[in-house]
Amino acid sequence: MHNLEHNPTEKLFIGRVPFIRATSFFSYQKHTNYAHLIHKLKYQHRDDIGTLLGEMCGVELQKSGFLSDVDALVPIPLHPKRERKRGYNQSEIIAQGISRVTGIPVLSDAVIRSIHTNTQTKKNKTERAKNVSGIFSVVDAAVLEGKHIVIVDDVITTGATCISCAETILQNAHTKGISFVSIALA
């Protein structure tokens, strides 16, 4: 999917937030091997899967040129309460896997999730957008200034979480631009 011009992930963000590029490593479909891997990553404490998927994604993105002018990776932050419960932030683990093969730094502490929200899994598009509106804060705008930032997520469904994160970054830092990468597009 990442090789396609105007791929489905890109189409999801067009007209909703300014961005440079967007892609997903694969299309999420229930009951597939990839779906089982994502489930294990998020709910069965298998952070090693996130590292592996991030490395695989990073290799493919590097080959395609998607990351050619990228300066930093910003994983979608989890609220500290949820991160403590899970034991890690799966988007950060994926970003670290991408970084391991590309050398692009991960800025895990530049943006935080300042408001705890309910899970998005059972919400429709409108409810998801409302649930994540205004939940992020930029902690250190200086580390984002003048950089092409890639926001990294595990699964993009409606794009609401990525859009909320991007809007927060764009309101608080003068970046070169924002791009999006996820392991899966649901």
Do the beta carbons of residue 150 and residue 181 sit within 8 Å?
yes
pLDDT of residue 131: 62
Strand partners, 151: 74, 180
How does strand 177-185 pair with strand 22-27?
A: parallel
Residues in the chain: 186
β-bridge partners, 152: 75, 181
What domains are there in the chain, each with its CATH number? 8-185 (3.40.50.2020)
Nearest to 55 by CA among 23, 89, 95: 95
User: In 3D, which of 104, 2, 97 has the Cα closest to residue 52?
Assistant: 97
pLDDT tens, residue order, the chain (186 aa): 556 667 899 999 999 999 999 999 998 888 888 889 999 998 899 999 999 999 999 999 999 999 999 999 999 999 888 888 889 999 999 999 999 999 999 999 999 998 877 665 666 666 655 667 778 999 999 999 999 999 999 999 999 999 999 999 999 999 999 999 999 998
CB 23 within 8 A of CB 61: yes
How far is 53 from 97, CA to CA, in rounded Å?
Answer: 7
Q: Which of 11, 29, 36 is nearest to 21 (CA)?
A: 11
d(CA 79, CA 1): 30
pLDDT at 128: 56
In sign, the C-alpha dihedral spanning 111, 117, 118, 122 is negative
